[in-house]
């Protein structure tokens, strides 16, 4: 009996020694495979674009809020009608609720906010940023921070960012883009529009619906304080995403031409312009009434509008 016990204890000791050795081997192995990756580049190399499915949202009160947040992103102008001042949804730009890599994705945002924005000289929370799009892109009102709607949008954005570590460098963020475009021709842009865009966005730019072909100009579109009102932002977005399903097919010239054509039309005016960008001035490529006047009388400086610092 005593011998039996000794043998068992002996095996246990040997076994744990072996496991200890195995673990240290594995750690050693993984150290040697990850070390070169870290020295080659930044942490962004290791973050993959892998949005979770809305189908996998768990049951229960948190899950209900996440799903409500998703519905709000997809059908903003109907569900949150009282706050929205045009005929757009968040998904009109943040394709499929921000889950498409080239369509202004919203994956990873809870890892990077709050964020300091030098131009405004202000620390922005995620709520501030959502409300930035509410008063500009949605031409509407701010959603109160303690409302069911704002909580749901935040819950949804947290769900989208699950597993992405705080402070991570998010390689697909739209805000990082900076690209040089050639000087546009509005006449050529009109042809591109008629041929490749009007079928979904309508010949008069009024759109066919927030998620089938959103309004690109006129009273149901975003206002002239929106990110999309910046010529190179619009051109970059269009080139990567449009025509829907054929992103990457337009040349730089076609993309800037059609963006200039779209932005040459009237749209709602943002009411807070005079207080905008207190530090660093208005971006040079914002297309507003003043610039549209310059297009009409031929004095617009296109060169300055395509040479912008973001
Ligand atoms: C007309 C197009 C448009 C619509 C509609 C729109 N957005 Fe945006 N949104 C943008 C663009 C463009 C940016 C990036 C702006 C920039 O360059 O900084 C952005 C940025 C954001 C960001 C910050 C992303 C980042 O990487 O920091 C959030 C959050 C956001 N939008 C939320 C929303 C929500 C929520 C809605 C609906 C209530 C909405 N947006 C509607 C165009 C739009
Ligand atoms: C097959 C339909 C279709 C075609 C064709 C199409 N779009 Fe879109 N467009 C959409 C949809 C749907 C969205 C909403 C975002 C998404 O789902 O990708 C959108 C969104 C946009 C947006 C952002 C929303 C907004 O209100 O600003 C712009 C800008 C845009 N399209 C420009 C264009 C341009 C320019 C062309 C032609 C080169 C074009 N689209 C062709 C369907 C289309």
pLDDT digits (tens, 9 = 90+) for 216-240: 999 999 999 999 999 999 999 999 9
What's the 120 CA to ligand 1 centre distance in angstroms?
16
What's the 213 CA to ligand 2 centre distance in angstroms?
6
127 domain residue, yes or no: yes
Rounded CA-CA distance 104/241 in Å is 10
Tokens of 118: 């030098």
Mean pLDDT of the chain: 86
Its sign, for the CA torsion 232, 234, 238, 243, is: negative
Shared domain check, 256 and 146: no
Shared domain check, 190 and 302: yes
Give residue 179's pLDDT. 79
Rounded CA-CA distance 252/179 in Å is 10
Number of folded domains that form the chain: 2
5 domain residue, yes or no: no
The CATH number covering residue 196 comes to: 1.10.760.10
Local confidence band at 120 (pLDDT 50, 70, 90 cut-offs): confident
What's the 2 CA to ligand 1 centre distance in angstroms?
73
What's the 288 CA to ligand 2 centre distance in angstroms?
21
Last residue of a domain, one of 144, 170, 196: 170
Instruction: Give the CA distances from residue 226 to residues 15, 32, 151, 267, in Å, rounded to whole numbers and listed in that order.
Output: 65, 47, 23, 11
For residue 117, give the 3-state DSSP assignment.
strand
Query: Does the pLDDT at position 174 exceed 70?
Result: no
Rounded CA-CA distance 112/92 in Å is 23
Yes or no: say if 270 and 224 are a contact pair by the CB < 8 Å rule: yes
Last residue of a domain, one of 115, 137, 170: 170
Tokens of 218: 């006129």
> Which pTM does this prediction carry?
0.87
Beta bridge pairs of residue 123: 116
Q: Ligand 2: which atom is nearest the Cα of residue 96?
A: 17
Shared domain check, 122 and 147: yes
Q: Which residues line ligand 1 (CB under 6 A)?
A: 76, 88, 90, 92-94, 104, 106, 109, 129-130, 133-134, 137-138, 153, 173-175, 222, 226-228, 233
120 domain residue, yes or no: yes
Shared domain check, 134 and 197: no
Residue 82: is it exposed, middle or buried by C-beta count within 10 angstroms (0-12/13-18/19+)?
exposed
Give tens-digit pLDDT for 56-91. Answer: 999 999 999 999 999 999 999 999 999 999 999 999
All residues at 6 or more sequence positions from 233 whose CB lies less than 8 Å from its CB, including other chains = 174, 177, 227, 285
Q: Ligand 1: which atom is nearest the Cα of residue 80?
A: 38
DSSP category for residue 265? S
Residue numbers of the domain that contains 196: 186-306
The ligand placed nearest to the CA atom of residue 250 is 2
Its sign, for the CA torsion 61, 67, 73, 79, is: negative
> What average pLDDT does range 191-213 have in this prediction?
98
């Amino acid at each position: 009996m005593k011998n039996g016990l000794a043998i068992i204890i002996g095996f246990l000791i040997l076994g744990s020694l072996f496991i200890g050795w195995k673990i240290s081997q594995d750690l050693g192995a993984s150290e040697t495979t990850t070390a070169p990756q870290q020295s080659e580049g930044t942490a962004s190399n290791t973050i993959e674009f892998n949005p979770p499915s809305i189908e996998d949202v768990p049951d229960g009160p948190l899950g209900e809020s996440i799903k409500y947040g998703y519905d709000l992103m997809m059908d903003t102008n109907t569900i949150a009608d009282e706050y929205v001042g045009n005929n757009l949804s968040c998904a009109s730009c943040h394709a499929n609720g921000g889950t498409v890599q080239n369509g202004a994705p919203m994956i990873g945002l809870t890892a990077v906010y709050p964020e300091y924005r030098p131009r405004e000289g202000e620390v922005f929370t995620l709520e501030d940023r959502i409300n930035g799009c509410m008063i500009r892109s949605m031409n509407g009102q701010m959603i109160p921070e303690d409302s069911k709607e704002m909580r749901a949008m935040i819950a949804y954005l947290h769900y989208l960012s699950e597993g992405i570590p705080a402070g991570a460098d998010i390689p697909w963020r739209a805000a990082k883009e900076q690209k040089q475009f050639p000087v546009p021709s509005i006449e050529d842009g009109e042809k591109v529009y008629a041929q490749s865009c009007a079928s979904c966005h309508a010949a008069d730019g009024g759109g066919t619906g927030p998620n089938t072909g959103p309004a690109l100009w006129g009273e149901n579109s975003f206002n002239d304080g929106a990110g999309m009102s910046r010529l190179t932002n619009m051109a970059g977005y269009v080139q990567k995403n449009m025509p829907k399903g054929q992103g990457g097919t337009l040349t730089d010239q076609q993309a800037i031409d059609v963006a200039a054509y779209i932005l040459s039309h009237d749209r709602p005016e943002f009411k807070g312009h005079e207080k905008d960008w207190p530090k660093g001035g208005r971006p040079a490529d914002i297309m507003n009434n003043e610039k549209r006047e310059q297009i009409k009388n031929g004095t617009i400086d296109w060169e300055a509008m395509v040479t912008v610092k973001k």
